[in-house]
Every structure is written in structure tokens, then in C-alpha cells.
Structure 1
């Protein structure tokens, strides 16, 4: 049994303190993902906080046969998309100092550890929302294709096609505008 499933059972049994374990485990990586969706640190904090509240209130709907992290991401991403639709949300490019926002040694942040992070952020930011989200889940959060499919509620083939198209667009932009993005040549 995953530790998350144990925590879920504890919370559902009335141990509200067990929920802190879930928050502590996922807050940084969820914030990093949402920040890249919103490109606004304050909105990202608000959306993550709201998402954790939704997760808490709907914990009884989590089915232990699937990955808890996939379910958590799904709730958070759906919340963000709902907020985007409600407010006709527009994103604004902001410079983000990853070292101050998230623990720089956290494995999910490895994507941003190389010297070309600003170029990568810009390349990712020009992608359509669905392709950007797939890139972020795959390379920032190191989520596998099957989990991305589950999180986004689309077939596995769609995930692979959108990932391929996104990487192709990023390569073409890099080739056209200059720069080098070696991570896209390796399909992890």
C-alpha cells in the first residue's frame, strides 16, 4: 500500500493531521506546475491552496486503484482550468527565480537546472495550454505517459502526439530564432 493511500485512510477515519503529510509531499511540485500554467506567483499560490482544499473535501472520491498523485494533479489542473474559464484568465510572462520558489534539489525541478532555463521557459510558454501542460508534467514533474493520460483524461496516443508536436514546435522555434535545446532531442 502506498503511503498516500494510508494517509487518505487516516484522514477519512478522522485524523485531519494526516493531511499535512499529503500537503508536505506535493506542495512544491504542484506549485511549480501551477506556476508555469498561470505565470503569476500569487495566482499560483491561491490555486494550489484551493486545489488542496478541493482534494481534502473530495478525498472520499479517490479510488485507491489509481495513482494518488495522478488524481491529485487532475483535481489541481481541473481547478486551474475552471478558474481560467471563469475569469477568461490571461497569463503574463514573469521572471521566476526557481531557487527562491521551490527547493532546488527537488527531483521534479531538475528540468530547470541547466543554464538554458530562460530559453526553455520562453519556448514552453509559447505552446498552447494542453501541449504546455504535457511538457511540464513530463519533464518538470517526470510523470510517465500513462499518468499524464490519466491526469488529463485523454488517450495515451493523444499524449504522445501532443508531446511530439510540442517538442517539434520548440525545436523549430529554436532553429529559427537561434539557441540550443538538447533535452528535446532525447525522448525520456
Structure 2
């Protein structure tokens, strides 16, 4: 079974947020170090390969970091995982905004993917963007799953939705989502265990 990112302890989260709100630069560095790989993983998983060829995951994470810098001044810790959920929400909103902008530009004919641009993107994809190689293995394994299995894992594990919330979003029964999630995790564990995602 892959190691999934776990929320920080609530007291540690409160202390980190307090330090950030008092302007301590080291606290920002610590926040970025703690969440960069996780936010990059979420970004890459949610962009998918098609959008990832047009939008840079690292740019989205940097943009989220800047937005978090502004927004965390007013942030209140509201229980375990609240900082993580807040950061995930920023990522998902940024992806939607960028995808909408890209789609509008594409429809207007303003986006052309040249061969040189495609080669440049492929070259950037060769080097791992993660500090922790476990994220790269997990990303490859997730990509090898059927769409429905990948989606249920992302919704349950990354977006931390309940099985009932996932069922509503996917238009399935709660029981069907629980079974799908169980099968998806089992297959994911096998893929991660293989070490090659396929």
C-alpha cells in the first residue's frame, strides 16, 4: 500500500500558521517544504496528461504558494487536516481557472502546440519534479489505473471526500463506491509494489 500524505498534527499546524501570520520567513520555507511534493502530485494527478502537456504543474504550485502567502494571513485552523484541505482547495481552484483560460484560448485559436514546444515539454517531463521518489511511483501507478478507479482514489484519498460524497459526485450508490474504492486500492497497491506502474 502506498504511503499517502497525512495531515499535520493539529497543534503543529496551529503553531506553523501562527509563525506564518507573524511574518516568520522560516515558517514559509517549512510550509513549502512540507507540502510542495503533495501539492505537485495533486496538481499533476488532476491535470492529467493532456492538460499537463499545455500547463506547467510547477507553475501552478508556485502560483498557489503565492496565493497561500496572501490568504494564510486570515486562515484559521479548524481541526485536523484543515491546512491541507485549504491548500488542496487552492490547487483545485487554480487548475480550474487555468484550464478554463487554456480552453478559451484554444477555442479562439490562440494556442498552437508546435513540434518544438511538444519536444520541450517531453524533455521537462523526463526529470522527476518530486523531492520524494514515492510520489513519482504513485503517480505512475495511478496513471495505469482505469479512469473510474483513479477518480475514486483521488476523490477519497486526495480530496478526502466521504464515500457518500463520492457516490453523489459519480452518480453511484454508496455501496458501489465502497467496493470500487476497495478494488482500486488493491490494484494500486499491486502497481506500486511492481515499482513500474504497469
Deviation at 1:109, TM superposition (A): 5.9
- Residue-pair matches, total: 153
Does structure 1 residue 81 correspond to structure 2 residue 89? no
Q: Deviations over 1:1-49 (max 9, x none)?
A: 4323212111111213211111000101111121122232761011111
TM-score relative to the length of structure 1: 0.61
Which entry has the higher C-alpha Rg, 1 or 2? 2
TM-score relative to the length of structure 2: 0.58
Deviation at 1:148, TM superposition (A): 2.1
Partner of 1:19: 28
Q: Gaps spanning 5+ residues in structure 2: where?
A: 1-9, 107-117, 190-198
Deviation at 1:100, TM superposition (A): 2.5
Does structure 1 residue 135 correspond to structure 2 residue 142? no
Choose the corresponding residue for 1:183, options 171, 182, 187: 187
Does structure 1 residue 148 correspond to structure 2 residue 160? yes
Q: Gaps spanning 5+ residues in structure 1: where?
A: 150-154, 172-179
Partner of 1:157: 164
* Whole-angstrom distance in 2 between the partners of 1:166 and 1:101: 32
Q: Deviations over 1:82-119 (max 9, x none)?
A: 111222178x9x7966x82324554x666457xxx3xx
Deviation at 1:133, TM superposition (A): 5.3
Does structure 1 residue 53 correspond to structure 2 residue 66? yes
Check 1:34–1:157 CA distance in 2 against 1; reply closer, same or farther (3 A cut). Answer: same
**Larger deviation, residues 46-55 vs 34-43:** 34-43
Q: SS at the partner of 2:160?
A: helix
* Whole-angstrom distance in 2 between the partners of 1:167 and 1:61: 40
- Aligned-residue RMSD, C-alpha: 4.1
**RCO higher in structure (CA 8 A, sep ≥6):** 2
- Once the two structures are superposed, the pairs formed by residues 34-53 of structure 1 within 5 Å of their partners are 34-38=43-47, 39=49, 40=52, 43-53=56-66
* Whole-angstrom distance in 1 between the partners of 2:155 and 2:29: 23
Check 1:134–1:62 CA distance in 2 against 1; reply closer, same or farther (3 A cut). Answer: farther
Check 1:123–1:133 CA distance in 2 against 1; reply closer, same or farther (3 A cut). Answer: closer
